[in-house]
Amino acid sequence: QTCTTVPYSVDICVIGSGLSGAMVVHRLTKQIENMSKSAKKPTILLLDAQNLCEGATARNGGHCKPLNYLGFRADAKRLGAKAVNELYSFESSQIHNYVDLIRSEDIDCDLHVTRAVDVFFDKEAAKEAKMDFDKRKRLFPQSVKNDDVHEIKDKNVLNKMAGTIGGQWGCHYLAGHLWPYKLATALILKSIKRANGNFNVMTNKPVIQIKQKPNISHQIFLESGSFHAQIVIVCTNAWTSGILPQFKDKIVPVKGTVAAINLSKNHQIGSEAHGGEGKMHLTYGLRVDQMDYMIVRQGRGRVPGVGDQSVILGGGRSVYANEVEKWYNNNDDSTLLPNTKSYFSSFMPQFFKNWKEGSPEGQQSGKLQSIWTGILGYSHDLLPYVGRVDQGIYVSAGFTGHGMPRIPACSFAIADMALS
């Protein structure tokens, strides 16, 4: 944090230092930097109830994988086909936002742009997914072309491309992954430097209540003390209803699981020479029962292929879905969900060709490395809340475990709304 004493008042208070909050303060400080020299520069305070960027942003896989066909028929019935098509195209464009931002700010956050492949192992699920794809392609052929979405009808082609066993149908399209914690903290640090003293960060400062005052400012109550802000931007995702009670039934904390798995020796660079499958370089959506996601890290830092190249696998909900109280409306990220460790431990050999674990010497290649939980903010209609809640209060939250392809543009939009 940059200060230890709560100020009496600030112009803008941003609550939540995850990826949304980090991108909001980045946008705010960039816009303020471009104001005329004679203009009064607004003061900004970023608050977090925990350590900086300690919540879901520090725990998710950083998978920027858009929705672009799956669920299209159901979404079209609920929201209208045209709106859903626009939403899908919006998500498909966000990887370019990440590329532009990371290049312009020169940030080391392990960004890797590649293609995602969705693999459906269950015949009925494959049939349903293909119907979604066909429906969108029939109604919006140019959008599907522009979004670079391609189905894979031939099972042999699919399994060869993905390196999987038993895939029935699939799709591939542009996607990417990065390390969200590194991106968020870098954006906050750069914002501190850019703002020349007009932007401060305070951590371990839970917000208890926000009260609107007669002079159109807001009094923000902390565990000890309070301060005033003209504008409040809430970017707390799963924790939003604790600050804005009207979101109690609108955004609910949902517990999720992510695991890291050591790369199999048969899936490393050069393994083709001795009967292996070669380097894994795609990202995945893997539908066995419920959809899991998988990325393969390409190393750490600015030199690809150096450092951590583990498999990051998220999901596993099929093994605990019936124990609703264990994951729904549960904000405890310190304990594991039932059966997830065994699920992730056995996943790769079941679905990936030639996956080999360990060796006679007891090496850990191909085995589970670590497993952890994080709290997702699920909205009641599965779409995020982005906009003005009340006079001077804005929110960007409820990303339903699908924030990576939505957060950049949502954060920039909310920052622009607040400044205007």
Residue 283 pLDDT > 60: yes
Residue 145 pLDDT > 70: yes
Which pTM was predicted? 0.94
Q: What is the mean pLDDT of residues 44-52?
A: 97
For position 368, what pLDDT does the model report?
A: 94
Residue 358 pLDDT > 70: no
For position 359, what pLDDT does the model report?
A: 54
Beta bridge partners of 257: 373
Reading the block at residue 253, the tokens are: 């904390």
Own/partner pairs for 120-126, CB < 8 Å, 24+ apart? 120/167, 120/168, 120/169, 120/170, 120/287, 121/164, 121/166, 121/167, 121/168, 121/286, 121/287, 121/288, 121/351, 122/168, 122/287, 122/288, 122/289, 123/168, 125/287, 126/168, 126/169, 126/287
Reading the block at residue 182, the tokens are: 């590194």
Q: What is the pLDDT of residues 306-325, one digit of tens each?
A: 878 899 999 999 999 999 99
Residue 362 pLDDT > 80: no
Terminal-residue alpha carbon distance, the chain = 28
Q: What are phi and psi of 192, to 5 degrees?
A: -60, -45
3-state secondary structure of 136: helix
Q: What is the pLDDT of residues 149-199, one digit of tens each?
A: 999 999 999 999 999 999 999 999 999 999 999 999 999 999 999 998 999
Highest mean pLDDT pick, 32-46, 344-358, 386-400 = 386-400
For position 419, what pLDDT does the model report?
A: 92
For position 309, what pLDDT does the model report?
A: 83
Residue 361 pLDDT > 60: no
Domains of the chain in start order, with CATH, are 9-58+181-250+380-419 (3.50.50.60), 108-176+252-379 (3.30.9.10)
Distance separating alpha carbons of residues 263 and 402, to the nearest angstrom: 25
Angle (CA) 109 112 118, round 5°: 130
Question: Could you tell me the pLDDT band of residue 301, with boundaries at 50, 70 and 90?
Answer: confident
